[in-house]
């Protein structure tokens, strides 16, 4: 017998964790003889922590790049 584990991250201001667990339980019900869906915790993210998470896990960059000033040629 094999055990398969999945990790799901949801980022938002306020999430009803009981509803999410119920939704996930409904989605996997009947796939195998045994399934367990449970809430594992909450972690507060700083703005920088969110940007790092989004880039690493979702491939989305929220970094702001400074505008490049045009280079001015020097006349001799």
The model's pLDDT over 5-55, given as tens digits with 9 standing for 90+, comes to 999 999 998 999 999 999 999 999 999 999 999 999 999 999 999 999 999
Segments making up each domain of the chain, as ranges: 17-58
pTM above 0.85, yes or no: no
Angle at 48 between CA 5 and CA 19, to 5 degrees: 40
Q: Output the six-digit token pair for 46.
A: 């700083």
């Amino acid at each position: 017998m094999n055990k398969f584990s999945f990790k799901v991250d949801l980022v938002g201001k306020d999430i009803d964790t009981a509803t999410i667990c119920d939704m996930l339980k409904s989605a996997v019900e009947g796939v195998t003889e045994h399934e367990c869906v449970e809430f594992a915790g909450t972690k507060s993210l700083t703005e920088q922590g969110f940007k790092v998470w989004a880039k690493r896990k979702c491939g989305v960059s929220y970094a702001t790049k400074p505008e490049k000033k045009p280079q001015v040629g020097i006349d001799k």
